Amino acid sequence: MGNTTHDATAEPIPAPRPGKPTPVVYTDFDGVLNAFPDYTVLRRGGVNRTPLWLRPDDPRAAIYSPQHAFHLDGNEQARTPIGRFRIHFSRELSDAIMASAAAGAINLSWLSTWQPYCDDILDPLLDWNPATVGTILWYDPVTNEHRRTGKLEAVVSRLRFENRGADPAPLVWIDDEECTPHAADTLRGLAPRSRVLMVRPDERIGISRRQWRLIHDFCAGEPIDGLVARPADDNPEGNAAAGGSAANDGMPQVVLDEEPGLIRREGHLGL
């Protein structure tokens, strides 16, 4: 049947132009890098094998298409003090993110419930350099204080900091659960002086190829297209304000991209 892999690779983000501030990127782990695919898809070889057995009319075919999703070739066991967790991630994607941070193209930090284990466990498993990747301390891992509200509070705090600066940096927040219309409205209420891109992946595949291109182009200061708006009736500012297709120079200050068909959960699936 020929090669079923996707030929294009994830491009690292280029360093910002001289005089431009470095974009700040906050990323979750579960449902963003660590994906939770359909068990059958995983058992039968993952994304790169789905064209061989999934019928074109199967709803999963588009979700797991190699042109849409990254192949989850990373298969590791994370051993933590509270248990062992099997993680599935794309080395292509994780390498592109790390290369971007190592080159100084982005200021990268974890914003994840894996907070206590990012430096010693997650970074080595992903081949990330802990000296290059920060970890936002947003909740108390002993008492769980701020666990329900701390992520948004951390982003709000960063935006307020950038608002006070002479040259505020763009901000990217990637989270499959907390990048919501409500959170977007909260950030808009701060009247940010720099642009904000909120990316909500589908937990079954994590960041899609389309979403990585959005992140790449946004951080590179290039025109961006392909944003997926939330429903118009849930968006008083119109689809473009929530993420309708628009060039970067016409993009609203805060946009939310939600992967189509994502599973909306009240509970947390990972750690």
In this predicted model, what pLDDT tens digit does every residue of 169-179 receive, in sequence order? 999 999 999 99
Q: What is the pLDDT of residue 17?
A: 82
Residue 246 has pLDDT above 90, yes or no: no
List the one residue out of 172, 66, 16, 184 whose CA is nearest residue 109. Answer: 172
The neighbour count for residue 36, using CB atoms within 10 Å, is 20
Look at residue 2 in the predicted model and tell me its pLDDT.
Answer: 36
Angle at 87 between CA 26 and CA 123, to 5 degrees: 50
Task: Report how far residue 155's alpha carbon sits from residue 138's, in angstroms, rounded to the nearest whole number.
Answer: 10
Residue 62: the pLDDT is: 94
Q: State the pLDDT confidence band at 117, using cuts at 50, 70 and 90.
A: very high
CB 196 within 8 A of CB 219: no
Provide the CA 43 distance to its chain's centre, in angstroms.
25
Indicate the pLDDT class of residue 229, thresholds 50, 70 and 90: low
Higher pLDDT, 6 or 17: 17
pLDDT number for residue 1 = 34
What average pLDDT score do residues 113-119 get? Answer: 97
Name the token pair of 242.
Answer: 């929530």
Q: Report the alpha-carbon distance of residue 32 to residue 199 in Å, rounded.
A: 9
CB of 259 within 8 A of CB of 208?
yes
The arithmetic mean of pLDDT across residues 247-267, rounded, is 75
Mean of the pLDDT values across residues 206-228?
91
Query: Is the CA virtual torsion 268, 199, 46, 263 positive or negative?
Result: positive
Instruction: Identify residue 217 by its one-letter amino acid code.
Output: D
Least confident of 37-46, 160-169, 262-271: 262-271
Taking the C-alpha atoms of residue 22 and residue 130, their distance in angstroms, rounded to an integer, is 19
**Mean predicted confidence (pLDDT) in 154-180:** 96
Q: In angstroms, how far is the first alpha carbon of the chain from the final one?
A: 39
Question: Whole-number mean pLDDT of the chain?
Answer: 88
Over range 56-66, report the average pLDDT: 94
Residue 237 has pLDDT above 70, yes or no: no
Is the overall model pTM greater than 0.85, yes or no? yes
Query: How confident is the model at residue 268, as a pLDDT?
Result: 61
Residue 261's pLDDT band (boundaries 50, 70, 90)?
Answer: confident
| Residue that the structure tokens 């970074």 belong to | 123
pLDDT at residue 219, as a whole number: 95
Structure tokens at 63: 């979700």
pLDDT at site 149: 93
**pLDDT score of 42 more than 70:** yes
Residue 3: per-residue pLDDT: 39
Instruction: Tell me which of 43-52, 75-84, 206-215, 256-265 is least confident.
Output: 256-265
Interval 117-125 mean pLDDT: 97
pLDDT band, residue 234 (cuts 50/70/90): very low
